[in-house]
Amino acid sequence: MKKINFYLLEYAINYILRYKSKNIFISIVLTLLVAILASFFFVQNSLKLEFESTLDAQPQIIITNQKAGRDTTVDEKVIDKLLNINGVGDVVSRVWGYYDFSHMNAKFILVGIDEFENQDNATLASIAQNVDLNVSSMLVGQGVKKTLSNSYYRKYFNFILPDGESKKIYIAGTFKATTQFESNDMIVMNKDTLRNIFGYKKQEATDLAVTVNNPKEIASVILKIQNMYPTFKVVARKDLKTVLQSQFNTKSSLFLILFMVSLFTFFMIIYDKSSGLSSEEKKEIGILKAIGWRVEDVLKARFYEALILSFFSYIIGIIIALFFVYILNAPILKNIFIDYHTIENNFKLPFVLDYETLLLLFLLSVPVYLFATIIPSWRVATLDADEVIR
């Protein structure tokens, strides 16, 4: 393996400094392109992890009732009949829904629990086991706590009931969920209290969560439920993943457009650079050949120059993207992928370092710039010195 020629390396650094205006411009453009693309990739990877973690916490089968083509409440009386279906292990009624805090510009998810029931969610199971929620108390996520505190609701909140009356619920504390989505905008309270807030009757539920003993029998269990209750809408967890992935891909289309524009801009710069060298650069190569430099020496010097410039831009671009996404929490950019109107999406993105993404960005920047620098230099370096100088 040949050693690095430090004399050529020193020449390459001086070359960059001599043409600093042009090189600074190229470095800034390349750095920004890498930073923008890396930021989108990092946000996308982090949100995918959150989505998958959130969906993994969902029940195997979710049952909702339909009336006039719209979702309506489910009567808990059907649970006993559902439990008699072969393959069904457990059926739990769920009371939950959205509550619009218009004056706070936020929308929270209200979830009711019963400590004597099985919970399909790990976070709710932990709360049911460790916290005793009475009819006048609730637990809130970290994002909810912050939003309520900013509106001076530090000890309680007055919920407006369907009949226009208000119901005071005291904040018993906060909870830490398994995912940021849950802890960001969720409020947990007694199931009967939540029925009162939503105007549900005593045995009404938002939906039913079904657990199947053998995951291979989920499709057959769904078919049995639909045959038994034609008005029920029965959805498997895997179907939710498909729908959410489709919505996520739709949101990613804007990223794809920006990705193509960024690549087009970068390759336009590369094309301009590879189309030829300036007269000063050609003259310099001619002088180097005249004083005894070989073609190999010229190409090595240009290789060092291009490698320093492109690799430096790549590293700085990645650092900027990491800082923007995981320190600043990707302001504005994060909202492109999320369509929730909840607490201004202030949850923290989980750190995900995808080596495939880093490699892709590296291949799209450093090698391309190296070829764009070396090829025109090789064309000039292979000519006679006097012809180049003239």
Output the DSSP codes for 329-355: --TTHHHHH----SGGG-PPPPP---H
Low-confidence stretches of the chain (pLDDT < 70) are 1-3, 181-183, 243-259, 262-263, 265-279, 337-346, 383-390
Q: What is the pLDDT of residue 12?
A: 83
Looking at the fold, whether 188 and 101 belong to one and the same domain comes out as yes
Looking at the fold, whether 10 and 106 belong to one and the same domain comes out as no
**Cβ pair 311, 370 in contact under 8 A:** no
Pairing assessment for the beta strands 166-174 and 137-140 based on DSSP bridges:
parallel
Q: What range defines the domain where residue 179 resides?
A: 74-205
**Cβ pair 255, 267 in contact under 8 A:** no
Is 214 domain-assigned?
no
Task: Tell me phi and psi for residue 209, to 5 degrees.
Answer: -105, 125
Q: Which residue, 26, 44, 21, 23, is CA-closest to 321?
A: 44
Looking at the fold, whether 45 and 80 belong to one and the same domain comes out as no
Q: What's CA 67's distance to the chain center, in Å?
A: 35
pTM exceeding 0.85: no
Looking at the fold, whether 29 and 94 belong to one and the same domain comes out as no
- Terminal-to-terminal C-alpha distance of the chain: 37
* Domain-ending residue, one of 145, 178, 205: 205
Looking at the fold, whether 19 and 112 belong to one and the same domain comes out as no
C-alpha–C-alpha distance, residues 305 and 312, integer Å: 11
Is 15 domain-assigned?
yes
Looking at the fold, whether 303 and 366 belong to one and the same domain comes out as yes
Q: What is the pLDDT of residue 161?
A: 92
Q: How many domains does the chain have?
A: 2
Is 221 domain-assigned?
no
| Token pair for 236 | 């498997």
Tracing tokens 């939906």 back to the chain, one arrives at: 207
The kind and range of the H/E element at 209 are strand 207-212
* Coil vs helix vs strand at 116: coil
Is 226 domain-assigned?
no
Q: What is the pLDDT of residue 330?
A: 86
Is 69 domain-assigned?
no
Tracing tokens 């995808």 back to the chain, one arrives at: 354
> Where do runs of H (alpha helix) occur along the chain?
6-18, 20-56, 79-83, 122-130, 142-150, 180-185, 191-198, 218-228, 237-274, 279-290, 295-326, 333-337, 355-381, 385-389
Is 264 domain-assigned?
yes
Looking at the fold, whether 140 and 179 belong to one and the same domain comes out as yes
Is 186 domain-assigned?
yes
Q: How many angstroms separate the Cα of 124 from the Cα of each of 8, 52, 119, 175, 219?
A: 64, 18, 6, 10, 27
Q: What angle do CA 262, 267, 269 make, to 5 degrees?
A: 100
Is 136 domain-assigned?
yes
* Domain-ending residue, one of 148, 178, 205: 205
Looking at the fold, whether 122 and 29 belong to one and the same domain comes out as no
Q: What is the pLDDT of residue 254?
A: 62
